[in-house]
Structure 1
């Protein structure tokens, strides 16, 4: 850390020194120190947590706790919808006979239950993410001025409110349409996407360019570890005690995450007390970034802007496949021929989230001998092969084989986030992660809409077709990343030889 620089910019404030240190480290690569140093802002004690610890604490626990609540809630809410719709339609579990005898024709009611459950998942996702699509860019860009901590606290309260609404629905056995109400309330606070945007922006604030890819991968590994624990706990707990008690834990976890962010997370940017949330300035910053290529476009602004758009497209396609196919795993496993119970569903979800950790380890190892782009391609190849196996899986063994082949499927997203972050100046990180949060909200929206509609529409000819479709889609970002890396290598070679 460059203590002299930080003392010169913001003397006497350790929190502001963190932000200034990140600026000076990143500027050593871009040679734009004076342009990237933020204008002097009124210092305030609000940048310090109420109970500062003797060691700096980062945002990984916030990500861990928030993801734990999401991973615990998502499969349980789908199973609750399945059970409520089955009860309403009079479907009494005839799928058990299909598991014992594959020659038994499918119960028509089972297809009705699958279709209605997929549609309600679609409505709930569309409602929440449509609202979040408007709110998340505002919160993400606003955090560049007002600080990251508010964006880590407010969405957790919104998610806790959603869990409270779900509990009321379960206690009173209200119509499932009230799930949509809870989802909308969470979307108005930014939902989990706003927490993602705040956490990744915080990491960009406090890391240099060389270590950023691995720091982002560590943050995503927190997603996997918490998701794995929540999946195992959720499956066993639901079988033992039903749905209500696990949702109380969801509520408590969101409140704990908000409390941790408020008490212990140090601010990474100097807050501006005059920063307004409801202003067009935030959307204009994002538009400027993608229309001009940003201040970091250097000499070749056109090519730089093109790379920004292409990497954003790759991120959109990869994350859309992740979230779209994730909604279908539980439905695919609940119905014949797999007919999994809560325990196996929990183990399957845990195996999926374990890939976050194996991807982190694989990324670290591959970085010693491969450039980041080739690491991303290996991760995409792992994802494609796993999806191909899922598309034809008709046994438990084959389903877990698909989970095993996806052991590197999360290696691509940290590389893409890091590449996007490195394409812009440190002063533009807030606008960048606001746009990434917007894209991620759109990924939820499009992924949920396409895959939850595609699944019931293709049940009659190929149950696993959505997974095959997802594998084909991933060929597009694979080609784009490979071509851009080859162009960069050719350009570097030409510059080195002087031709």
Structure 2
């Protein structure tokens, strides 16, 4: 079901809803703790009474308790999501990308509804911990992001020439009911000969290898890879643009209507997004129906349903592991370095940004909700600038050079934030951060190039796991460090994030030094892998039942 191929509205609406919730939750918890610890209501006027000198001790205690509460919330969310997010994204290779997109949207809807009830009836904050746990079970933001990026990879390949044509032919034949089976490299098509024997007609890897390696194909490959990088950067831009607008509107929304109605608004947006995915968005994959080839036993859905659940779980996790463990030594080294740099970049960026609001609420800034909303809205400049940077720089620079520029932008912004003591300087911090979102999209695109089309779900499942782990480590570590250091140097967390971004840049430097990032070598490794797949196909078909269940 569905008639539209645009995944961007899903990313945009989810970003707007979530970034209405994040600053809302932080400020609400801050005020609730203020009321509990001080015994008096939080000042609601536009001045900075809550930062008066006689309330310094209470203010420091509130900052500490709020930071610890967010640490507990992240722990409740992190552990279940570490297992569920890679499973959902890897299953999307068989069940379609919506399998990785719908459950996180349901989790986000439940969390915002829980917040609405807690804030509306002044219930215990402990209910939010339970809601965070349920959200983690349903995959969280990492599963949603992985599913959306895998959707983009599917669409880019389907429109990229030979690979896309082959994939389309395969899906058309499956819809017509041709016999097929699934191998490690994708769907292998078969037809029944006159003598009743099953003769292999063609598989996806043969169709891709049939076109040769002429100059026009090389040009098409360059255009395809650049288009994938730009399309993924556009998702990051939409995420940042809508999140900034949400942060800006939330500040005024809180000031006008309090903390309850913004939560209900976010829940309604999640519900709208869920309806779009279920009824409007077209599936990028066309997984075979359970009725197709059931007599031959080749339907992945039928076979998976016949397997014990534990073995299916183990097989999907093994598929994710093999993405990063198989291949040549140079490929494994390149993917490992890129994944490590991606993790350090995410820890640096998310860890540093996670304490921005607490830092702005603290002395000497003592911002109110409107200033916080305006400051958070400036993240739109960051993501728009990063998208423009990727779009322009990809014409003249290698991917690794773009990543290094992005890491330099992160480091410079964090250094200035660590010593920002005035409102003007804190607003200007976003200016050097204008290219800081570039490494995320470019690293995803580089890793996506190292996987075949049938492995995109498993690849982004691994990326989702690393991203979720990085997010958990960042929020836990930086909230703990901020709670410990807020009394003597509140900018210490930014300096720690700066050091991590420098280490990530060093890993990219190693990648460049050993020439592991060259596109020619990447393409040769992919060609070698497809040749190996083709050789395996010629020896006979893979028995999927034994592969999944034995």
| Partner residue of 1:281 out of 297, 311, 315 | 315
C-alpha distance in structure 1 between counterparts of 2:230 and 2:44, whole Å: 45
- Answering whether residue 150 of structure 2 is matched by residue 134 of structure 1, we say no
Q: Is the 8 A contact 2:51 2:366 kept in 1?
A: no
The Cα shift of 1:99 comes to 5.6
Q: Is the 8 A contact 2:226 2:394 kept in 1?
A: no
- Bigger mean CA deviation after superposition, 339-348 or 259-268: 259-268
For 2:10, the equivalent position in structure 1 comes to: 62
For 1:356, the equivalent position in structure 2 comes to: 383
- Answering whether residue 366 of structure 2 is matched by residue 339 of structure 1, we say yes
Distance 1:406 1:135, change over 3 A: same
Distance 1:65 1:491, change over 3 A: closer
Q: Is the 8 A contact 2:100 2:147 kept in 1?
A: yes
The Cα shift of 1:105 comes to 6.9
C-alpha distance in structure 2 between counterparts of 1:171 and 1:343, whole Å: 21
| Partner residue of 1:219 out of 212, 235, 242 | 235
The Cα shift of 1:488 comes to 1.7
C-alpha distance in structure 1 between counterparts of 2:115 and 2:507, whole Å: 42
Question: Any idea what the Cα deviations from partners look like across 1:135-156, whole Å, max 9, x if unmatched?
Answer: 1011010001000123222221
C-alpha distance in structure 1 between counterparts of 2:519 and 2:447, whole Å: 19
Question: Any idea what the Cα deviations from partners look like across 1:198-223, whole Å, max 9, x if unmatched?
Answer: 10000111114231111100011110
SS in 2 for 1:467: helix
Q: Is the 8 A contact 1:99 1:337 kept in 2?
A: no
C-alpha distance in structure 2 between counterparts of 1:61 and 1:493, whole Å: 35
- Bigger mean CA deviation after superposition, 445-454 or 352-361: 352-361
Query: Segments of 4+ in structure 1 off by > 6 A?
Result: 94-98, 100-103, 489-495
Tell me the matched-pair count.
436
C-alpha distance in structure 2 between counterparts of 1:452 and 1:403, whole Å: 21
Distance 1:487 1:183, change over 3 A: same
- In structure 2, the gaps of 5 or more residues are 157-223, 291-300, 523-550
- Answering whether residue 260 of structure 2 is matched by residue 233 of structure 1, we say no
The Cα shift of 1:101 comes to 12
Q: Is the 8 A contact 2:12 2:239 kept in 1?
A: yes
The Cα shift of 1:287 comes to 1.4
C-alpha distance in structure 2 between counterparts of 1:494 and 1:161, whole Å: 46
- In structure 1, the gaps of 5 or more residues are 1-47
- Answering whether residue 123 of structure 2 is matched by residue 89 of structure 1, we say no
Question: Any idea what the Cα deviations from partners look like across 1:280-302, whole Å, max 9, x if unmatched?
Answer: 2110101112222xxxx4xxx11
| Partner residue of 1:160 out of 104, 109, 112 | 109
Question: Any idea what the Cα deviations from partners look like across 1:412-448, whole Å, max 9, x if unmatched?
Answer: 1111101111112222111100100111110121011
SS in 1 for 2:340: helix
C-alpha distance in structure 1 between counterparts of 2:106 and 2:34, whole Å: 32
- Answering whether residue 442 of structure 2 is matched by residue 415 of structure 1, we say yes
| Partner residue of 2:330 out of 295, 303, 314 | 303
C-alpha distance in structure 2 between counterparts of 1:197 and 1:102, whole Å: 42
C-alpha distance in structure 1 between counterparts of 2:39 and 2:383, whole Å: 37
| Partner residue of 1:73 out of 21, 24, 37 | 21
The Cα shift of 1:326 comes to 2.3
Question: Any idea what the Cα deviations from partners look like across 1:20-53, whole Å, max 9, x if unmatched?
Answer: xxxxxxxxxxxxxxxxxxxxxxxxxxxx32xx2x
For 2:266, the equivalent position in structure 1 comes to: 250
For 1:263, the equivalent position in structure 2 comes to: 279
Distance 1:191 1:101, change over 3 A: closer
Q: Is the 8 A contact 1:95 1:110 kept in 2?
A: no
- Answering whether residue 509 of structure 2 is matched by residue 475 of structure 1, we say no
C-alpha distance in structure 2 between counterparts of 1:187 and 1:432, whole Å: 20
Question: Any idea what the Cα deviations from partners look like across 1:148-175, whole Å, max 9, x if unmatched?
Answer: 1232222211111111111111122111
Tell me the TM-score normalised to structure 2 length.
0.75
C-alpha distance in structure 2 between counterparts of 1:423 and 1:493, whole Å: 12
C-alpha distance in structure 2 between counterparts of 1:63 and 1:128, whole Å: 20
C-alpha distance in structure 1 between counterparts of 2:341 and 2:506, whole Å: 10
Question: Any idea what the Cα deviations from partners look like across 1:46-72, whole Å, max 9, x if unmatched?
Answer: xx32xx2xxx43210001111111110
Q: Is the 8 A contact 1:94 1:107 kept in 2?
A: no
- Bigger mean CA deviation after superposition, 60-69 or 324-333: 324-333
Question: Any idea what the Cα deviations from partners look like across 1:175-200, whole Å, max 9, x if unmatched?
Answer: 11111111111111112221101100
C-alpha distance in structure 2 between counterparts of 1:202 and 1:411, whole Å: 20
The Cα shift of 1:94 comes to 8.5
Q: Is the 8 A contact 2:20 2:250 kept in 1?
A: yes
For 1:17, the equivalent position in structure 2 comes to: none
The Cα shift of 1:330 comes to 0.8
C-alpha distance in structure 1 between counterparts of 2:77 and 2:254, whole Å: 25
For 1:424, the equivalent position in structure 2 comes to: 451
| Partner residue of 2:138 out of 167, 189, 194 | 189
- The alignment yields a C-alpha RMSD, in angstroms, of 2.4
Counting only pairs closer than 5 Å after superposition, residues 307-386 of structure 1 correspond to structure 2 as 307-386=334-413
C-alpha distance in structure 2 between counterparts of 1:256 and 1:284, whole Å: 35
The Cα shift of 1:87 comes to 0.4
Q: Is the 8 A contact 1:66 1:192 kept in 2?
A: no
For 1:38, the equivalent position in structure 2 comes to: none
C-alpha distance in structure 2 between counterparts of 1:94 and 1:236, whole Å: 16
Q: Is the 8 A contact 2:383 2:435 kept in 1?
A: yes
Distance 1:126 1:353, change over 3 A: farther
| Partner residue of 1:109 out of 58, 61, 86 | 58
